[in-house]
Amino acid sequence: MSGSRFVYYKGLGARLERAVYNFMLDEHVYEQGYTEMITPYLVNSKSMFGTGQFPKFKEDVFQVEDRDLTLIPTAEVPLTNYYADEILDGKELPIYFTALSPSFRSEAGSAGRDTRGLIRLHQFHKVEMVKFSDKETSYDELEKMTQNAEILLQKLNLPYRVITLCTGDMGFSAAKTYDLEVWVPAQDTYREISSCSNCEDFQARRAMIRYRDEDSKVQYAHTLNGSGLAVGRTVTAILENYQNEDGSVTVPEVLVPVSYTHLDVYKRQGLHSLLLCFSNFYILTGY
């Protein structure tokens, strides 16, 4: 239907994915002070340039023929460009946005790398965090953003680690980046599940995002972005780390209120029903 590296979620699998991103959004909005947004999934070249995807990564996205429109690789693009060509009141900073969106990536240069399962798809859901800050407090905001993502993994009780990226591994727009990596037993390694970056004023200069400080002087804002979290990879981590000896999967307790199913129902349905609903995951990921 769509080719390789596209997947279906069915039944309890679809419900688990929905429970995961609802949990993430509720945590960001009600506990961490983010404003929830629903954004366009198609943006123009100016927006892609503003956040640093164009021109360097033009081959890694899906573009509409004969139209200046691109499917977003991350909600970072429309969220950050929300204030493009604007001057904000410095008293309103910092501003926090979050959004769930599909992310579309052709990843032309990734042939043969992690192409099995839910790790590297052409289309996947991700909850994004974006912040607008003044230049004095942006690194404090980066620490807070990273903690915002960490709290999700802690509440899901998933083993993870935090690493600081070296310059050669950072994204084009970033000045400093933390990667959160979750333990994936099937691969016997940690895999990236969130990346939190301070772009300082790099994106703001491109997109003309400014603020007026307390002295009425116009300054470039600092922008930050982070995954909170990549949903498919979170589902993968849950299926692997919560799998029981009989092959059944116990759903994390924190997801029970948002999955509309009691924990004992998941346990009671056990191996048979979960394998029926998650059969695509087992085939696709080679568990």
List, for residues 2-24, the tens digit of each pLDDT value: 767 777 778 888 888 999 999 99
pTM for the structure as a whole: 0.88
Q: Catalytic positions, please?
A: 105, 120, 192, 195, 233
pLDDT in tens, 62-82: 999 999 999 999 999 999 999
Residue 273 burial (10 A CB sphere; 0-12, 13-18, 19+):
middle
The per-residue pLDDT for 113 is: 54
Range with lowest mean pLDDT among 71-75, 103-107, 143-147: 103-107
Residue 218 phi/psi, 5° resolution? -80, 125
What average pLDDT does range 232-240 have in this prediction? 92
Range with lowest mean pLDDT among 90-94, 171-175, 181-185, 259-263: 259-263
Looking at every residue in the chain, the average pLDDT score rounds to 87
- With b for 16 or more beta-carbon neighbours within 10 A and e for fewer, the 240-263 pattern comes to bbbbeeeebbbbbebbbebbebee
Domain locations along the chain: 12-285
The per-residue pLDDT for 260 is: 58
Of residues 46, 102, 32, 85, the one with CA closest to residue 209: 85
pLDDT in tens, 183-219: 999 889 999 999 999 999 999 999 999 999 999 999 9
**CATH T-level assignment (fold) for domain 12-285:** BirA Bifunctional Protein; domain 2 (3.30.930)
pLDDT at 166 over 50: yes
